[in-house]
Structure 1
Amino acid sequence: MPNASVALDRGAVVAPVNRRLFGSFVEHLGRCVYDGIYEPGHPTADEDGFRRDVVDLVRELGSSTIRYPGGNFVSGYKWEDGIGPREDRPVRRDLAWHSLESNQVGVDEFARWCALTGSELMMAVNLGTRGIAEALDLLEYTNHPSGTALSDLRIANGATEPYDIRMWCLGNEMDGPWQLGHMNAEDYGKLAARTASAMKMVDKDLELVVCGSSGSGMPTFGEWERVVLEHSYENVDFVSCHAYYQERKGDLGSYLASSLDMQYFIETVVATADHVKHKLKSKKTINLSFDEWNIWYLDEHQASDEVNDEWRFAPRQLEDVYSVADAVVLGNLLITLLKNSDRVTSASLAQLVNVIAPIMTEPGGDAWRQTTFFPFSVTSRLAEGVVVRPSISAGTYETEVYGTASLLDSVATFDEESGRSAVFLVNRSQTESLTVTVDARSFDAARITEAVSLHDDDVYAKNTHEDQNRVGLTANESAALADGVLTVTLPPVSWTAVALTR
């Protein structure tokens, strides 16, 4: 059995744990909204039509911020269609996903849903087919207290208090040819700068996210960020990153090392943003909003007939069913986000319900946890205080896509006030368990309060509608702590979390 070690020094602080790293994403796509969070006829539905079984799972998942309403959907969206009496709301075509939108859920309903789940609403504005005026109108409707036409309209629609939305996305994936209103970096950068400047004339403390690249494989990656930020740098606070991963051609080894690409993505965007900072002689630092990240079997979606010539309400689209291997990769991606939390200060798992999601539902029926639910929920619950950068010593293996990769990845968190700490670990070996020694003496840890692993002898085991509890967390009985040194055995292709306290 191979051995590995992790050394933890409470002085090696990356940054405070930012709750916004545990955000998610709800787009009007497939059954994410309709039959997902909203189903008026469901036995658990409340007076707003929201499924309370889903609300309970979202709270358990620990989602902090929720990006809304897209995604590609936002580039054709008229927010005004989703307010006022439901019976008067128009049905529209959604060109992004070739479906029909009933507008039965809009900003007012979604703000109430966010309050139910205890999450922060992160709003996206349409810069694809609309622009500055519409963004300002939405800002007035959501955030102005009263006494103007649109704030009074919000009050008339039942929301006396403003929503005070702080984070705003300036469009979505405008670098992508698939995007309604797609434009080059020069044109988007200028539009984003003008929109951001106007919005900050209303409220200088808004936190604005400018569109970065929609993937590290885009031909304009890096150059897009440079050009856009040279136009908008002083008016925005974040640049977005989007990345999706999947196993291809049976290459599990490369797939398990997907976080190496996320690390490359982050380092490239940080370097580009800092280059622009120095070029402009600016005193501010732009951080990253990794506001779309997940496992997505995009190749299979593109080969399917999910998007066809029919115009349907809430069709089943992108309903990936996730395996143990998928969950291990997702847990590893979350480790990478934590390791970079000095610059990645917001992130959104895309998406939340039914659509490439940790939570699945059936109309009129159950809601259940996918395999990917578990590493996200446990990390969100246990991570507190500050992120501590580990020193890892482990064997390596060769991947076809990413070259040499470590068999082990890990990160830790420590909270000085409570004395609680947590260590998160991934074993990428497909065949062998890994015995890890974690030197946590600087944490003054005296006992283990929790040790769980996600693992199965079948790395492709899944939770389905028919077998909703096939995969879950299991207690890792190997975990032991002596004199501040933790030893734990990690099964092959596994994700593990160990919680410690003084």
Structure 2
Amino acid sequence: MRNAQLTIDPAFAVGPADRRLFGSFVEHLGRCVYGGIHEPGHPRADARGLRGDVLELTRELGVSVVRYPGGNFVSGYRWEDGVGPVADRPRRLDLAWKTVETNAFGLDEFMSWAATAEVEPMMAVNLGTRGVQEACDLLEYANHPGGTELSDRRRRHGAEQPYGIRLWCLGNELDGPWQVGHKTADEYGRLAAETARAMKLIDPSISLVACGSSGRGMPTFAAWEATVLEHTYEHVDYISAHTYYDPSDGDRASLLASAVDMDAFITEVVATADHVAARQRQTRKLKISFDEWNVWYQSRVQADLDRRGWVEAPALIEDDYTAVDAVVVGDLLITLLRHADRVGVACQAQLANVIAPIRTRTGGPAWRQSIFHPFALTARYARGTVLRTEPVGPTYATKRYGDVPVLDTVAVRHDETGELAVFAVNRDETDLRLDVDLRGLPALAGTAHTAMTARDDPAAVNTEAEPDRVVPRDLPVPKADGGRCTVRLPALSWNLLRFTPPEG
């Protein structure tokens, strides 16, 4: 067993753990909407067709904000198709995922679902095949109180009060050649700036997200951000980032180090944004909206798309997540928290069925995938101020990233109670002895050690038949003595260590 050390001091604060870091994503893709969050006639569905079991799991997951309706889907979407009487809504071809969209679920249904799920909506506008006017129309429909054709249309549709949506995405992944309406950085940057200016004339209170690169590996990465922000910096509040990590090649060592890549991605986007700010003499620091991230077996997708015709809501990208995948997801959350000073929004893609923590069977039950658990526990206990940690420990070799640390950590201290949550990942194939120095936080006592480990069965997954095969386990409570604590982190594990101050 190897050794590592970790020092935690409240003086080394990063920033607040924004609740928007625990977002999710609902796209009209596969069975995320139809058969996922919405299934009229299901035994657990309410009169609106919303699945109660999925709503319960969404609340348990701790989701704070949900991005909608895409994703690739939004780049060809006409928002008007999804409002008004369902019987009058048109059926359309969705070019993004080669399916038939019934429009039985749209903006009004999503807002009803979001209110019931107690999540903040994050709306995306179509800047692929549409433009400034359509984005303004959608905003007017959603947020204007009344007295205009569009706002009164919303009221006729049953929403007397404005929806008050505060977060808006100016398109999606328009740097990608696969995107309907793909644009150059100059084309998109100018359109995004024009749209942002017009939208803020309607509602100055909104926050806007400009499209960043759809991956760090894109050939236009960084140059795209620089050009887009030259057009939009003064008009937007966030630049987006998207990343997925594919386990399909079997390189487990590199997969476990995926957070190293995410960390570099964030650092490079921040550097690019700050460069533009310096050129333009901007004093405001732009934040990142990391509004798509997850583990995704992407190599399987094209075969799914190619072997079927134009159908409604097919089972698509329904990945079964392993115990190793759960450790990776927990580590990506650590990285997002570590950059809490510059990452203000993050959305795991997606919520139900499609690369999702929640799986369902049409007409049947819903269950938690392995990746559900580190997300839910982090969302529950990462409340307060993020503290910078500087772990010292061994490294191991990877094909993709070279030598990387075995240990990855972050800590969050609750501002009111003084409780401390330490999140730690051991990427190694052997257990790790971790010595934690808490002398900067005197008199803390260990409360719990919870772990997700892939040591014994790395390929284990949760299924409808075995929904609790991969779940968190309680390990011996850490003992703090004189401000020091030693714990054993299992091989291939994500860990949550909790400490509390004495009562009174």
Taking structure 1 as the reference length, the TM-score comes to 0.98
1:243-392 matches, within 5 Å, as 243-302=243-302, 304-392=303-391
- Residue by residue over 1:109-153, the C-alpha shift from the partner in whole angstroms, topping out at 9 and shown as x without a partner, is 101111111110000000000110000000001001111111111
Contact 2:448 2:476 in 1 (8 A): no
User: CA RMSD of the aligned region, Å?
Assistant: 1.1
Q: CA deviation at 1:21?
A: 0.3
Count the aligned residue pairs. Answer: 500
Distance 1:96 1:306 in 2: 10
Q: How much identity, in percent, do the aligned residues show?
A: 54
1:478–1:489 contact (8 Å) kept in structure 2:
no
Pair 1:197-2:197 in alignment = yes
2:174 aligns to what?
174
Amino acid at match of 2:483: G
CA separation of 1:445 and 1:472: change in aligned 2, threshold 3 A: farther
Q: CA deviation at 1:204?
A: 2.1
1:443 counterpart residue number: 441
User: Structure 1 residues 445, 52: closer, same or farther in 2, change over 3 A?
Assistant: farther
Deviation at 1:250, TM superposition (A): 2.1
Q: How far did 1:309 drift?
A: 4.7
Distance 1:117 1:165 in 2: 15
- Residue 5 of structure 1 deviates from its aligned partner by 1.1
What pairs with 1:221-236 in structure 2 (closer than 5 Å)?
A: 221-236=221-236
Change in 2 beyond 3 A, CA 1:309/1:249: closer
**Per the alignment, in what secondary structure is the counterpart of residue 469 of structure 2?**
coil
Rounded Cα–Cα distance in structure 2 between residues aligned with 1:148 and 1:450: 56
Matches of residues 455-470 of structure 1 in structure 2 within 5 Å? 455-456=453-454, 457-470=456-469
Tell me, in whole angstroms, the C-alpha distance in 1 between the residues paired with 2:246 and 2:372.
17
Cα drift, residue 460 of structure 1 = 1.1
Give 1:391 shift: 1.5
Q: Matched residues in 2 for 1:349 and 1:500: separation?
A: 27
Describe how 1:8-23 pairs up with structure 2 within 5 A: 8-23=8-23
1:407 corresponds to: 406
Distance in 1 between residues matched to 2:441 and 2:136, nearest whole Å = 48
Contact 1:445 1:500 in 2 (8 A): no
Maintained 8 Å contact 2:208/2:238: yes
Mapped to 2, the partners of 1:314 and 1:443 lie a distance apart of: 52
Cα distance, 1:306 vs structure 2? 3.8
C-alpha distance after superposition, 1:56-78 (max 9, x if no partner): 00000001010000000000101
- Name the counterpart of 2:78: 78
Q: TM-score, normalised by structure 2?
A: 0.98
Q: What amino acid maps onto 1:434 in structure 2?
A: L
CA contact (8 A) 1:215 1:221 kept: yes
Q: 1:462 to 1:10 in 2, by over 3 A?
A: same
Shift in Å at residue 248 of structure 1? 4.4
Unmatched tracts of structure 1, length 5 or more:
none
For the residues of structure 1 that align with 2:33 and 2:442, how far apart are their CA atoms? 45
Report how far residue 234 of structure 1 moved. 0.7
Mapping 1:93-104, distance limit 5 Å: 93-104=93-104
Deviations 1:305-336 (A, max 9, x none): 34445111110000000001101011000000
SS at match of 1:441: coil
Cα offset, 1:478, TM superposition: 5.6
Give the SS at the match of 1:235: coil
Amino acid at match of 2:230: E
Is the CA contact 2:248–2:297 (under 8 Å) kept in the aligned structure 1? no
Q: Is the 8 A contact 1:132 1:198 kept in 2?
A: yes
CA drift of 1:205 comes to 2.5
Q: Which amino acid aligns with 1:437?
A: D
Residue aligning to 1:49: 49
Q: SS where residue 233 of structure 2 aligns?
A: helix
Contact 1:428 1:492 (8 Å CA) reproduced: yes
CA contact (8 A) 1:254 1:401 kept: yes
Q: Which moved more, 1:246-255 or 1:398-407?
A: 246-255
- Following the alignment from structure 2 to structure 1, what is the Cα–Cα distance between the partners of residues 485 and 121? 39
